[in-house]
Amino acid sequence: MRLLRAAVGNSGGRTFPGSRVVRVVGLLALVVFLLALCGCAAGSERFAEEPAGFWMGLWHGLIIIITFVIGLFTDSVGVYELNNSGNWYDFGFVLGLMISLGGMFRSSHKRRKVRRSEDEWDEIGAKVEAKVRRGIDRWLEERERTDEEWEEIGKKIEDKIKRELRDWADS
């Protein structure tokens, strides 16, 4: 109780997301969860009588990271249950691996890609803008040149028409 009062402090009994009470309760929940997890982990005595099936394979695949870390410090917990029902356990285990490890790597890849893509989008935007400006400048130059060429062609046609009219009038 003293720890609870010290953690609450002068907040009038209210708890806030960053307060010590929330952190202490979260830590206790994590410890309880890890202890409960050890009872369902591969290598426990639970599977001595009945082999592990699909659902336990799925569960062992999902918790592989935690059981691997715990297995480093104790011999009673493993990542794969040897006493299993065969293919269905293996299928569940691989499915759990894909969900836990595949999802973890995919999300970190997305975050990295998003961070990286903001800089890339700025660079791509600058390149596109420069290319569009060059294209517009080229188009304007061609248009001016084209207008000059058309004026020259118009003068040549006008001169030719005048010559033809003179030749026709003289004949």
Number of domains in the chain: 1
Torsion of CA 11, 14, 16, 19, to 10 degrees: 60
Show the domain range for 50: 41-170
Domain membership flag for residue 1: no
So what's the pLDDT on residue 1?
45
Q: pTM of the full predicted structure? A: 0.43
Amino acid at 154: G
Domain membership flag for residue 82: yes
- The tally of CA atoms less than 13 A away on the side-chain side of residue 43 is 14
Which residue ranges of the chain lie beneath pLDDT 50?
1, 3-8
